[in-house]
A and B are shown apart, each in its own frame.
Chain A
């Protein structure tokens, strides 16, 4: 089955800096890669996603890049703000199967004011 590795587990940055979280996946059939943000005690919320026919996608301060050959994808947050502090999860799934995403173990992002 699919295996998703996520790094780093904790990321501490100063407000205004950029943050990058990286994930690798093992199943070449995976073609959908969502990123979720989860604040303490709350639901995971989809912040951005990318499909395998696209190499990069941006939404304001957030961007995701995908390298299918290397089987890795990354989340980039620019101009970080304290409210970006949360746990971020990457996931990979295949539309050829039952769409069950395999999640990374999460990255705790701390943005210091």
Chain B
């Protein structure tokens, strides 16, 4: 158990819908990262938040957005869902300091868009 939690574990929805994925980082970690992993694909970095502020953006679609709240949990919002959005979505957290940049991954949310 990495200490990072994600809910829900599974999500099945229809095209055009909107969903919210939630992540709670490890105690003490200030940085949260979101990744998308499609079938047989590697980990695609979506977005990073640090202490409530957006820090870096990767290949995140305009239909997707995220935020990090004062208690440091983060939510990833996916809207106007398409079949191709079906994937595993992982959240990871780290302390974000020069000597402790190790990322710890949550168990993931499996999103299925029908």
Contact = CB atoms under 8 A, between A and B. Distances in A.
Say which size band chain B's interface belongs to.
20 to 34
A74 B114 CA distance: 40
B42 A32 contact: no
A103 interface: yes
B107 A93 contact: no
Interface in B24-68: 31, 33, 41-43, 45, 48, 50, 55-56, 58
Contacts, number: 54
> From DSSP, what is the main secondary structure of chain A's interface residues?
loop
Nearest to B33: A100
A42 B106 CA distance: 9
B107 A42 contact: yes
A32 B97 CA distance: 12
A27 B55 CA distance: 20
Contact of B101 (A45, A89, A93, A102): A93
A101 B104 CA distance: 12
A98 B48 contact: yes
Interface string A40-61: 0111111001000000000000
